[in-house]
Structure 1
Amino acid sequence: MSFKINDAVILKEGIPEEGLKAGAVGVVVAEFSEPNEAYEIEFLDDDGDLLAQLALLPEQLSKFE
């Protein structure tokens, strides 16, 4: 599945070292095609403060609907 900038996405599996749990909602802020398809995702807390920003593979994400 491919995503576009500003798409809301859901993290399929937690990333404890980043403080993220499965089901965390983030926003695509960049797209990469090399060396692999990947997306830079920004995760914010309820106050709008940045929790984490990291590159993830499409299989780690699903579309938020």
Structure 2
Amino acid sequence: MMLDLFDVVRVKTALPEQGLDAGAIGAVVAILRDPDLRYEIEVVDEDGRTRFLGPIAPDDLERC
């Protein structure tokens, strides 16, 4: 599944090394292709503060 910039995504499985729980909602803010495809996502809290910003493998994400 290919995602586009600004797609809203859900983390499918917990990624404890990233500090993300399964079901975390974020937005695609960059598409990285070198060396492998990764989507940089931003997850924010209820106050709009960034909780996570980093690359995630496509298999760990689903479009909302």
Fold similarity call, TM over 0.5: yes
Q: 1:59 maps to which residue?
A: 59
1:19-30 mapped onto 2 (5 Å cutoff): 19-30=19-30
Stretches of structure 1 that go unaligned for 5 or more consecutive residues are: none
Q: 2:48 maps to which residue?
A: 48
Stretches of structure 2 that go unaligned for 5 or more consecutive residues are: none
Deviation of the 1:16 alpha carbon: 2.2
Q: Distance in 2 between matches of 1:46 and 1:17?
A: 22
What is the DSSP-based 3-state SS (H/G/I as helix, E as strand, rest coil) of the residue aligned with 2:3? coil
What is the DSSP-based 3-state SS (H/G/I as helix, E as strand, rest coil) of the residue aligned with 1:52? strand
AA aligned opposite 1:15: L
- Superposition TM-score, scaled by structure 2 size: 0.91
